[in-house]
């Protein structure tokens, strides 16, 4: 999306006071993307509450506007989507820009492959480096015609008019994005589409398809549907995003004396691996008032400071905490002893190479980190001050903002503009909880 003239730098200063209070983080990014997509393809209107007003999810909403779907915004975090039905999308007049969103691009590749018209999906510099073969290859087996740039990278040119055939596909790598792209294409395909996963991933597409009235069978690690049914508009309540809550969960665990309450956090079992890992490290996290909201389990999380120690992160937890590794690196750096992360090679193809970025950044802050192909070994204990690079990755920037809270001196983070892709208002919310986070002058103005 549009970049500002001067990169936005942050300075996170160590705090003397505990973090305290009650906060609610913005809506879930994965669910917000899917809500717009399914509501657009439904018959009738859908109201989406708790919609994430982030750049990624707004890019998806804007794309459906280009595809002829009327989406009203009666108030912040609410969308009324006037669905056009499965066959009601119109050919876009221009290229569709997914911004920073891998979820947007991969899911749309599946959906657009089934349309009568051609379309082109593009994105920002980070998204243009992300691998698309993982969706192109199985979609091509279904009959889709998608051309990518050299190396199977975006932009993707999606040819319309293809007749899709259902597929029985075993994913080589656990990926909710690829699974969801195939299920969306499967809505239009002849026969059955069955996706099998090497490890279960977030099942938001499956749950939401069921909520919109599509017959679907799913269990952890497997989802099956047939084409030719209808989606019916419905109300979607988006819970607070666990991945956004994660920064505060670690922050309150690290700062002595802290007690934070995070309201109504989405606790889908395929997202909460970080809670298990942090509890193994000694964290004190309690769940209050567990309830169901819009078909998802949510609870209020109370986090109290607790001394953390290093662990070997259980490999089977990796898919359930795939977006939380940047903040786990920070927890590990502040913990006593050694933390080993393995089996997490997927981190190298996220918004940035998250293994390299976190290892380099922590090393600049004086932490002893050894990178390996699928993870890292972190010797915890002391985080120093210094200046780190985020490579425009939102989660890297927020993770180093947390590191600054407990560092020996301020941590400066270079380009934080992209935090708005997933967490608009992070700086203000963090400061309301007790962070000391400011915009920093450019280095040459110091």
The catalytic residues are: 323
- Considering the complex, state which of residue 98 and residue 407 has its C-beta at the smaller distance from ligand S3P: 98
Residue 237 within binding range of ligand S3P, rule CB under 6 A: no
Question: Can you give 274-341 as a three-state secondary structure string?
Answer: HHHHHHHCCCEEEEEEEEEECCEEEEEEEEECCCCECCECCHHHHHHHCCCHHHHHHHHHHCEEEEEE
Report the distance separating Cα 86 and Cα 42, nearest Å: 6
Nearer CB in complex with ligand S3P: 195/365 = 195
For residue 280, which phi and psi values (nearest 5 degrees)?
-65, -30
Shorter beta-carbon distance to ligand S3P: residue 11 or 394 = 394
Which residues have a Cβ under 8 Å from the Cβ of 431 and sit 6 or more positions away? 437
Shortest approach of ligand S3P to residue 376 CB, angstroms?
18
Longest distance between any two alpha carbons in the chain, whole Å: 64
- In the complex, minimum distance from the CB of residue 178 to ligand S3P, in angstroms, rounded to a whole number: 6
Binding to ligand S3P, residues 291-330 (CB under 6 A): 322-323
Near ligand S3P in 242-271, by CB under 6 A: none
List beta partners, residue 23.
262
- In the complex, what is the shortest distance from the CB of residue 5 to ligand S3P, in angstroms, rounded to a whole number? 28
Q: One symbol per residue from 185 to 214: x for binding ligand S3P (CB under 6 A), - otherwise; what is it?
A: -----------------x------------
By beta-carbon proximity to ligand S3P, the closer residue of 9 and 271 is: 271
Asked whether 171 and 126 are in contact (CB, 8 A), the reply is no
Tell me the C-alpha to C-alpha distance, in Å, between residue 408 and each of 225, 351, 402, 403, 404: 54, 28, 13, 10, 8
Report how far apart, in Å, the C-alpha atoms of 419 and of each of 9, 53, 105, 263, 358 are.
11, 12, 19, 21, 16
Residue 192 CB, shortest distance to ligand S3P, in Å, is 22
Angle at 280 between CA 339 and CA 343, to 5 degrees: 50
Binding mask 20-59 for ligand S3P (x = CB under 6 A): ----------x-----------------------------
Q: Rounded to the nearest 10 degrees, what angle do helices 204-211 and 29-41 cross at? A: 40
| Residue number, 47 or 180, with CB nearest to ligand S3P | 180
Q: How far is the CB of 180 from ligand S3P (least distance, A)?
A: 6
Minimum distance between the CB of residue 351 and ligand S3P, rounded to whole angstroms? 8
Task: By CB under 6 A, name the one of 46, 57, 103, 244 that touches ligand S3P.
Answer: 103
Asked if 32 and 51 count as a contact pair (C-beta separation under 8 A), the reply is yes
β 222-226/437-440 pair status = unpaired
Site for ligand S3P in 135-194 (CB under 6 A): 175-177, 180
Three-class secondary structure of residue 92 per DSSP: coil
Nearer Cβ to ligand S3P (300/323): 323
Nearer to ligand S3P, 296 or 412 (CB): 296
Minimum CB distance to ligand S3P, residue 334 (Å):
24
Q: How many CB atoms lie within 10 A of CB 53?
A: 18
Residues 385-444 that bind ligand S3P (CB under 6 A): none
Residues that bind ligand S3P (CB under 6 A): 30, 103, 175-177, 180, 202, 322-323
């Amino acid at each position: 999306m549009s970049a500002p003239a001067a990169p936005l730098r942050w300075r996170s200063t160590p705090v003397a006071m505990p973090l305290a209070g009650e906060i609610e983080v913005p809506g879930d990014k994965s669910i917000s993307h899917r809500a717009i997509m399914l509501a657009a393809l439904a018959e009738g209107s859908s109201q989406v509450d708790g919609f994430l007003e982030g750049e990624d999810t707004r890019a998806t909403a804007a794309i459906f506007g280009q595809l002829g779907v009327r989406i009203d915004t009666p108030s912040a975090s609410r969308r009324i989507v006037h669905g056009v039905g499965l066959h009601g999308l119109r050919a876009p007049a221009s290229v569709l820009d997914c911004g920073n969103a891998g979820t947007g691009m991969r899911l749309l590749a599946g959906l657009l492959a089934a349309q009568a018209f051609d379309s082109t999906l593009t994105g920002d510099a980070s998204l243009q480096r992300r691998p698309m073969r993982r969706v192109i290859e199985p979609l091509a087996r279904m009959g889709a015609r998608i051309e990518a740039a050299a190396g199977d990278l975006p932009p993707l040119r999606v040819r319309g008019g293809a007749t899709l055939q259902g597929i029985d596909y075993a994913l080589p790598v656990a990926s909710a994005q690829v699974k969801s792209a195939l299920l969306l294409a499967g809505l239009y395909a002849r026969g059955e589409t069955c996706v099998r996963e090497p490890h279960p991933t977030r099942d938001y597409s499956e749950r939401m398809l069921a909520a919109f009235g599509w017959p679907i069978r799913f269990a952890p690690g497997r989802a099956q549907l047939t084409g030719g049914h209808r989606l019916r508009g419905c109300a979607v309540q988006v819970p607070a995003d666990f991945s956004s809550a994660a920064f505060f969960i670690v922050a309150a665990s690290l700062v002595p004396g802290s007690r934070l309450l995070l309201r109504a956090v989405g606790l889908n079992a395929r997202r909460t691996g970080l809670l298990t890992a942090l509890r193994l490290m000694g964290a004190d996290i309690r769940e209050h008032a567990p309830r169901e909201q819009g078909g998802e389990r949510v609870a209020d999380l109370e986090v109290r400071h607790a001394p953390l120690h290093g662990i070997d992160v259980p490999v089977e937890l990796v898919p359930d905490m795939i977006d939380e590794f940047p903040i786990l690196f920070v927890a590990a750096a502040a913990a006593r002893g050694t933390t080993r992360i393995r089996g997490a090679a997927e981190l190298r193809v996220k918004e940035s190479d998250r293994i390299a970025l976190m290892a380099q950044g922590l090393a600049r802050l004086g932490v002893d980190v050894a990178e390996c192909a699928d993870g890292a070994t972190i010797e915890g204990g002391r985080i120093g001050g210094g200046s780190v690079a985020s490579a425009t990755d939102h989660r890297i920037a927020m993770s180093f903002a947390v590191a600054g809270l407990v560092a020996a001196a301020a941590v400066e983070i270079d380009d934080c503009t992209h935090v708005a892709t997933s967490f608009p208002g992070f700086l203000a919310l963090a400061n309301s909880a007790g962070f000391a986070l400011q915009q920093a002058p450019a280095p040459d103005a110091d």
